[in-house]
Chains A and B, each alone.
Chain A
Amino acid sequence: GQQLNQSPQSMFIQEGEDVSMNCTSSSIFNTWLWYKQDPGEGPVLLIALYKAGELTSNGRLTAQFGITRKDSFLNISASIPSDVGIYFCAGRMSSGAGSYQLTFGKGTKLSVIP
């Protein structure tokens, strides 16, 4: 099956620092998504990317869809304590007949030191 390699697995940063994480795949995806999950909650969609090379921002978050369609990265600028959580990348492709499934990376656990 498809595998997404997400890195780093975890990171500890000072408040105010910028953060960068990425996902790579051996397969091509048509869509990349980035989610954040807080403890005890479901994943919340942050950014969706639909075209190779696309760069999209959502506040302090910026994500890019790699031109090979096999990778994506997420940057968070000027981190704040509420950025703490687990960030997941997800790739989506059609599996035929109008069916789609998301393949998730294993997550990057972000800790912010005030």
Chain B
Amino acid sequence: DSGVTQTPKHLITATGQRVTLRCSPRSGDLSVYWYQQSLDQGLQFLIQYYNGEERAKGNILERFSAQQFPDLHSELNLSSLELGDSALYFCASSVDPGQAEAFFGQGTRLTVV
């Protein structure tokens, strides 16, 4: 158990809908990262937050947004969902952005039908 908690574990929704994925980082970790894992693209970095502020953006679509709250949990919002958004979404956390070792949650498997 990495200490990073993601909910829900599975999500099935229809195209055009909006969903919210939630992540609680390990106790003491201030930095949260979101990744998308699909079969053909591997693990793709989406976005990073540190202590509530956005720090880095990767290949995140405009339809996707995220935030980190004062209690350090983070949410990833995915809207106007398309079939191609079906993937595993992982959250990872580290003490601070300078620490390379990030610990991953178990992921949320999103299926868009």
Contacts and interface: CB of A to CB of B under 8 A. Distances in A.
Q: Do A and B bind each other?
A: yes
Interface of A: 1, 31, 33, 35, 40-45, 48, 50, 88, 90, 92, 95, 97-107
A38 to B, nearest CB: 10
A98 B42 contact: no
B43 A45 contact: no
A92 B100 contact: yes
Interface of B: 2, 4, 33, 35, 42-45, 48, 50, 55-56, 58-59, 90, 92, 97-98, 100-107
Contact of A42 (B2, B59, B100): B2
A43 B58 CA distance: 19
A33 B104 contact: no
A42 B55 CA distance: 23
Contacts, number: 64
Contacts of A100: 48, 55-56, 97-98, 100
A98 B101 CA distance: 15
Contact of A48 (B4, B92, B101): B101
20 contacts: A31-B100, A33-B101, A40-B106, A41-B106, A41-B107, A42-B104, A43-B104, A45-B101, A45-B102, A45-B103, A48-B101, A92-B100, A98-B55, A99-B48, A99-B56, A102-B33, A104-B35, A104-B43, A104-B45, A105-B42
Contacts of B103: 45
Given A41-B106, A42-B105, A42-B107, A102 B45 contact: yes
